[in-house]
Structure 1
Amino acid sequence: MAETTAHDIAVEAPAEADTGQSVSSRLGLGFWLSVVWLIIVAGLALLAPWLPIADPNETAVGGRLEGPRSGLWFGSDATGRDVFSLTIWGARISLLVGFIAILVGFLVGGTLGILSGYFRGRFDSIVSFIFVTLLSFPALILAILITTLLGRTVFWVALSLGILAIAPVGRLARAQTLVFAERDFVTAARVLGASHRRIIVHELLPNVVIPMSALALLGMGIAVVAEGTLAFLGISVEDGLSWGKQIFLAASRRSELQDGPHAAFFPIGVVFLTVLSLNYAGDRLREVFDAKELVL
């Protein structure tokens, strides 16, 4: 009985805004174009080892800073490497860092936020203090500190950005839990003798996960940009190529940037479209499912 009620409530927010259109229609064309772009980029990144593209480390594929042409779609960089191949391979680390970062924020921040909003009391006060402390700490300094002390591997770079995502995700999860914990379906579950675990997993989590998913897309876009910032500071992933490192290498010398702007322009364009797609998709989910952002 409680489960059925929870399912009904889980779709309550979009139903209230229903104008006779399906959720798919209300998300809009822009949302689905964003999804298509993200699928293409993620698919190319995953399939990079098997795609018929040049080895990203192979030099003299084209001339020095050669412009785009047939067979060399994005041109070549200062060492003659294929910029298109570099961009595809760079997506692997950039997207992986963004995914791991927001996953850490989801698992840690989301769990703490839901438990905090449900149990309240002293536990809520402690968790809220942790969130405020994390939000008060300079984000860039924390990321620099972690990567400098622990290493510049994909894991540690992603973890440093994931720690920064804990507080925003946790505060949203807590706020949503506080709202739904007072609903009749949760009260009914308590009266029927449901355990805390069952109430949290079956009644609260389905209602909290959608606004958290919207924030996850926005957060992943921020993480991709943050990794690029760390790359410009020379403290991002040491082994391997990311979009940030690729752009940094292409723009590090002014003369090379002037002679071959395409080497930096194309990866910048891909980063821009990817982050734009993540932000737009997340924003549309937030609007359609009425996930408030004032708690952030």
Structure 2
Amino acid sequence: MSEITELPTPPAAGQALDAAVSSAPERTRRPARSVPWGSVALTLLGVVVSGVGVAALRDGNGWLQLAVVVAGLVLAYVGGGQLLRRRFGAGFDLAAWLCTTWLVLLLFAALLAPVLPLGEHQDIAGSLDAPILAAPDLLSPYPLGTNNFGLDLLSRVIHGARASLVVSLGAVLIGTVVGAALGIVSGFFRKTTDVVIGIFTNSLLAVPPLVLLIALATVLEPSLGNIALALSLLALPSVIRMARASTLTFVQREFVLAARAMGASRMRLMVRELLPNVLLPLASYGMVMISVLIVAEASLSFLGLGIQPPNPSWGNMIAEGEGNTFEEHPHIVLVPGVVLFLTVFSLNLLGEKARKRFDPRQAKL
């Protein structure tokens, strides 16, 4: 009889796992992340330089102080961006987060302006003891300086944001509601309705925007409601065309044809089926339109046709610097101008990102 060879006993599951781990090549093990000391040093350097510009140079040249603070902020932005991309991934957009933070802070400051401990922004009699044309000093009671009447520029900028945001948001809301309704009706019924609405849209586009605003401003009272109504005409043609194009895209889709086959009325088709799909790209486009209308409102106020002094607006605040020498008191123009620039830049950046995400036509680009 031949001998039977005894088979080896298989190792236990735990032993097999230990053997597999111990035999794995060293290169497959994840190395520990090293601290990016260069980015940390760059961020700290930017913070220190900005602090030096604010505190140590407060009694020196204003332009030198501004240059040092801006240089420190740029260094902190570059270093902080590298750290955050290393932590959250290469797709992290620090600029978008900073723009969002700026808009949120501006919105809350505008909403809480009546209860914030701010200086006088409107009543000249309440600023008789305030220094006139004081330069910006972040450690003083007037961090952004005062104008030629002693009014606090920080307080005027925040209260001016209330007027700009109310007017632009109101104008976009009116333009979106009316434009979406006309665009959906035009794309749904077509034929004669489409021709009539198209003529109306082209008529608005044929008039230069500034000429149209000046004409309306000379006829209407310079109130927030009338200014918002006038500015809504600038947003109306673009909203109508976008709503019409989206309606033509969705009106032949399966869910609309199925609802029509089930006996849904025209009103139900437009409100329940088409409107939700049309509003999504319009909402993302609205952020860009808000920035455009903020600039338009500032232009009207700069020309004296918008919000009238002493009520603050970014436009009439910039106009206050016309009678002063820019070399001697540049902060009167720079303070509202920089706030206007940052707000419009933030809205444009976030609006473009929203359009690329929610508008299918932009996502393909």
Provide closer, same or farther for how the CA distance between residues 292 and 148 of structure 1 changes in structure 2, counting only shifts above 3 A. farther
| 2:218 maps to 1:148 | yes
Provide closer, same or farther for how the CA distance between residues 47 and 292 of structure 1 changes in structure 2, counting only shifts above 3 A. same
Match for residue 87 of structure 1? 157
Which residue of the other structure, out of 16, 27, 31, is the alignment partner of 2:96? 31
Q: Could you tell which deviates more after superposition, 57-66 or 282-291?
A: 57-66
Paired residue type of 1:237:
I
Match for residue 319 of structure 2? 248
1:76 deviation in Å? 1.2
Paired residue type of 1:48:
A
Query: Matches of residues 255-274 of structure 1 in structure 2 within 5 Å?
Result: 255=325, 257-274=326-343
1:33 deviation in Å? 3.2
1:110 deviation in Å? 1.2
Match for residue 59 of structure 1? 127
**Residue 308 of structure 2 contacts residue 316 of structure 2 at CA under 8 Å; is this kept in 1?**
no
Which residue of the other structure, out of 259, 274, 293, is the alignment partner of 1:204? 274
Provide closer, same or farther for how the CA distance between residues 215 and 49 of structure 1 changes in structure 2, counting only shifts above 3 A. same
| Runs of 4+ that moved beyond 3 A | 25-33
Match for residue 137 of structure 1? 207
Match for residue 40 of structure 1? 105
Match for residue 13 of structure 1? none
SS of structure 1 residue aligned to 2:333: helix
Provide closer, same or farther for how the CA distance between residues 55 and 254 of structure 1 changes in structure 2, counting only shifts above 3 A. closer
**Residue 62 of structure 1 contacts residue 75 of structure 1 at CA under 8 Å; is this kept in 2?**
no
Cα RMSD (Å) of the superposition? Answer: 1.9
Q: Number of aligned pairs?
A: 267
Paired residue type of 2:106:
V
SS of structure 1 residue aligned to 2:327: helix
SS of structure 2 residue aligned to 1:258: coil
Mapped partners of 1:145, 1:170: distance in 2:
23
**Normalized against structure 1, the TM-score is what?**
0.85
**Normalized against structure 2, the TM-score is what?**
0.70
Paired residue type of 2:134:
E
Match for residue 288 of structure 1? 357
Provide closer, same or farther for how the CA distance between residues 29 and 192 of structure 1 changes in structure 2, counting only shifts above 3 A. farther
Paired residue type of 2:250:
F
Which residue of the other structure, out of 170, 185, 191, is the alignment partner of 2:255? 185
Mapped partners of 1:263, 1:192: distance in 2:
64
Unaligned runs of 5+ in 2: 1-89
1:107 deviation in Å? 1.2
Pick the structure with greater CA Rg: 2
1:104 deviation in Å? 1.4
